[in-house]
Amino acid sequence: MKYSVVIPARNEEHWLGACIDSVRESARQAQVEAEVVVVLNRCTDGTERIAREKGGVVTASDARCLSAIRNHGARAASGEVLVTIDADSRMSANLLSKVDLALRDPKVIGGSVAIWFERWSLGLVLTFLSILPALLVLRISGGAFWVRREVFGELGGFDESRRSFEDVDFALRLRRLARATGRKAKILWRASIVTSCRKFDRFGDWYLFRNALRVIGLWRRSKGSERMEDELWYDTER
């Protein structure tokens, strides 16, 4: 099977190289073909240069919506399996091996992996623990997804009416589809991504914990949530 790894990237010259290198190493260990698709989003730095130097398929979307950006990358991809990862994250060397093994079961349609912060503090630990019960009850994870291309089509991709929590929404819909059709969606706990703490570096390690009600408002798409989405994802300096 051919894999396509879709990476949204807005001014990611400091992170993208390590992300792509981790994909290449994971593909090497799995002995699979992995296409890297970098979706440039309003870049003003050297992101495109790095993507091309690393052999990525480069495309562009100016959307201020991660769902639309991810879907754009999926349309540009040619693999039978789509994998999503953010440019400031790195996949474990065994990730594609674990995905490849899971997909040998024809009933498995896709899933996610464990996600870890690149560093820890009391604020980050409490933030992690505050969301862990919901993740365990819902049996979902976020940060990186892997899914058969035809299943991505069945789901209609990421929901472009969502500008945040699109990953949680995707995970929930993937699990519902698996249940409804007698198939399986899996979390690969022995594969993972490590994600940067740059938002916490910028806003503080206690930011999400102290703004829990605002974060819940993002999920519910409450009135005024667009301002926080812009602050955290679409207008923040990089």
Per residue in 82-111, pLDDT (tens digit) is 999 999 999 999 999 999 999 999 999 999
Joined together, the tokens standing for residue 165 give 């929590």
Residue type, 57: V
Q: What is the pLDDT of residue 55?
A: 97
The token pair that represents 201 in the structure block: 């570096």
Give the chain's residues under pLDDT 70: none
Contacts 24+ apart (CB under 8 A), 219-223: 219/164, 219/165, 219/168, 221/162
For 78-123, the DSSP string reads: --SEEEE--TTEEE-TTHHHHHHHHTTSTTEEEEEEEEEESS--HH
CA of 99: how far to CAs of 2, 67, 96, in Å? 12, 23, 5
User: Which residues 6+ apart lie within 8 Å of 160 measured at CB?
Assistant: 65, 67, 68, 71
pLDDT given for residue 179 in this prediction: 97
Per-residue CA distances from 178 to 20, 59, 94, 216 (Å)? 30, 31, 24, 26
What pLDDT shows up at residue 225? 86
Give me the sheet containing 89-91, strands edge to edge. 57-60, 33-40, 2-9, 81-84, 145-148, 108-117, 184-195, 89-91
